[in-house]
Amino acid sequence: MKFSDKAAVYFIMGSKNSGTRNPLKVLEAALKGGIGHFQLREKGEGALTGSALLEFALACQQLCRSYGVPLIINDLVELACQIDADGVHIGQDDAEAGQVRQRIGKEKLLGVSVHSVKEAHLAAEAGADYVGMGPVFGTASKADAKKPAGVQEIQAVATAFPFLPIVGIGGINPENAAQVWRSGVAGIAVISSITEAHDIAGQIAALQAGRIEGDRK
Ligand code: TZP
Ligand code: MG
């Protein structure tokens, strides 16, 4: 599957990211609002495991399928294979990208988090369809997040690999999204901008609006 940058807001959530709201309701609102990808990232205190995680993943998948939006699973390659998810996203400390590509086959999406031109090169060689880069800004959503990196390295990767889709991540909101779009990303990935929004569709539109404003073309 090729990474599509048509609908460019990439939503990430686990069952514990939606506060007092039902995560499946939040996901459905985000799907209605026009997200282009959904990543199930089940982490942190109280994270679901085993059959509860499987059930939640299947519920997410059913919703994503009904809106024609690819479901990508963070880290858990075997869960992705078990439910026939559309793709997998891994970090530098997870399984080796080439091995994950072999495991999931060439039809599935593979995303890899990278922090430099060198890591982007290795990810592309290993068969990544897109790379995630961040945190661009400060974030409270990832306990072990690195220091905010700004957009400089994104610009360097976009220049070095013009055909490799980049997704910016970390602390992105409607106020700063245009800066990220301008750096050359194909998409922006958000957790809290959507999970904490009262008007989820409005928030997605506002994140997208930065794209038009910031588009280089
Ligand atoms: N990887 C880098 S920053 C981040 C992840 C998963 C968290 C992004 O969450 P938010 O709430 O959009 O800053
Ligand atoms: Mg990971």
Please tell me the distance between residue 95's alpha carbon and the centre of ligand 2 in angstroms. Answer: 9
Q: Is residue 41 marked as binding?
A: yes
Q: What is the rounded average pLDDT of the residues 139-156?
A: 95
- pLDDT (tens digit per residue) in 130-143: 999 999 999 999 99
Is 2 inside a domain boundary? no
Is 117 inside a domain boundary? yes
Instruction: Tell me: pLDDT of 93 over 80.
Output: yes
Q: Which residues surround ligand 2, an ion (CB under 5 A)?
A: 75, 91, 94
pLDDT at 217: 42
Could you tell me what percent of the chain has a pLDDT over 70? Answer: 96
Is 33 inside a domain boundary? yes
Please indicate whether residue 191, judged by its CB atom, sits closer than 6 Å to ligand 1. Answer: yes
CA of 99: how far to CAs of 103, 134, 161, 184, in Å? 6, 23, 22, 28
Tokens of 35: 């997200």
Tokens of 169: 């991540």
Instruction: Tell me: pLDDT of 28 over 60.
Output: yes
What is residue 201's three-state secondary structure?
helix
Instruction: Tell me: pLDDT of 214 over 60.
Output: no
Q: What is the rounded average pLDDT of the residues 48-63?
A: 98
Is 45 inside a domain boundary? yes
CATH number, residue 82? 3.20.20.70
pLDDT at 212: 72
pLDDT at 68: 97
Number of structural domains, the chain?
A: 1
Tokens of 15: 């069952």
Is 131 inside a domain boundary? yes
Please tell me the distance between residue 217's alpha carbon and the centre of ligand 1 in angstroms. Answer: 27
For 95, the domain range is 9-216
Over the Cα atoms of the chain, what is R_g? 16
Could you tell me what percent of the chain has a pLDDT over 90? Answer: 91
Instruction: Tell me: pLDDT of 65 over 70.
Output: yes
Contacts of 65 (CB under 8 A, 6+ apart): 71
Please indicate whether residue 74, judged by its CB atom, sits closer than 6 Å to ligand 1. Answer: no
pTM value is 0.97
Active site residues: 41, 113, 142
- Out of 7-16, 104-113, 118-127, 205-214, pick the least confident: 205-214
Instruction: Tell me: pLDDT of 2 over 90.
Output: no
Instruction: Tell me: pLDDT of 66 over 50.
Output: yes
Tokens of 181: 């779009």
* Cα 2 from chain centroid (whole Å): 15
Instruction: Tell me: pLDDT of 7 over 70.
Output: no
Is 3 inside a domain boundary? no
Is 1 inside a domain boundary? no
Ligand nearest, relative to CA of residue 14: 1
Tokens of 51: 């059959």
Please tell me the distance between residue 212's alpha carbon and the centre of ligand 2 in angstroms. Answer: 31
More confident residue, 71 or 7: 71
Is 159 inside a domain boundary? yes
Q: What is the rounded average pLDDT of the residues 90-100?
A: 97
Mean pLDDT, rounded, of the chain: 95
